[in-house]
Amino acid sequence: MLCEMCGQDVPATNAVRVESSVLQLCPNCSKFGVAVAPPVVPAGSAPQPARGGGMRVTPRAARSVAERDLYTEMPDMELAPDWGRRIRIAREALHWTPEELGKRLNEKKSVVLKLESGSFRPPDGTIRSVERLLHIRLRADPEPTA
Ligand SMILES: [Zn+2]
């Protein structure tokens, strides 16, 4: 075998790291680098896909579909015609930025802006959260006068 450093033909070369590359070097040149240990692979411990255990069902997807069905089966709350405007007015009264309201709702700022423009009708759970956070009512039923 040829040494990759001096080109000498030797019976055996060693894998040696020289700077960033690994070279096959003769014993003489090996001292210029750091010997590379051969990768240790213990017999029988190589990762193998377990046989028979491949039928793993992921129930998460199925469950979320079921939850969504549950949601759609519930009649949507009827909202006041100006519910988006109510959100914006109440938010501005609290001096919250759309980002801030979004954070409290666990939603993105863009979602808040869509809510306020009335272009996105959120799930009833979000409606309730907004009502609770901003102390307003978004539902169409008349607000009981205090
Ligand atoms: Zn050499």
pLDDT tens-digit map of 41-93: 666 655 555 555 555 555 555 555 555 555 555 567 889 999 999 999 999 99
Residue 42, domain member (yes or no): no
37 CA → ligand 1 middle, Å: 19
Backbone angles phi, psi at 17, to 5 degrees: -85, 120
Compute, in angstroms, the gap from residue 44 CA to the centroid of ligand 1. 36
Residue at 105 is within a domain: yes
Predicted confidence at residue 103, as pLDDT, reads 97
Token couple for 52: 């028979």
Sign of the CA dihedral with 23 first, then 29, 32, and 38 last: positive
Chain centroid offset of residue 130 CA: 25
Cα distances (angstroms) measured from residue 69 to each of 62, 72, 121: 11, 5, 17
Distance (angstroms) between ligand 1 centre and the Cα of 146 equals: 95
Q: Under DSSP, is residue 15 helix (H, G, I), strand (E, B) or coil? A: strand
- The answer to whether residues 23 and 85 belong to one domain is no
Q: What is the pTM of this model?
A: 0.47
CA–CA distance, 10 with 62 (Å, rounded to integer): 64
Supply the pLDDT for residue 88: 97
Spatial distance between the Cα atoms of 15 and 128, rounded to a whole number of angstroms: 67
Domain membership of residue 145 as a residue range: 76-146
144 and 90 part of one domain: yes
Tell me how far apart the alpha carbons of residues 4 and 24 are, in angstroms, rounded to a whole number: 6
Domain count, the chain: 2
Note whether 32 and 80 are same-domain residues: no
Cα 36 to ligand 1 centroid, rounded to whole Å: 16
Q: Ligand 1 centre from 39 Cα, in Å?
A: 23
CA of 16 from ligand 1 middle (Å) equals: 11
6 C-alpha to center of ligand 1: Å?
4
Q: How far is the CA of 78 from the centre of ligand 1 (A)?
A: 84
Closest listed residue to residue 120, CA positions, set 110, 129, 128, 130? 110
Measured CA to CA, the distance from residue 111 to residue 108 in angstroms comes to 5
Same-domain check for residues 30 and 91: no
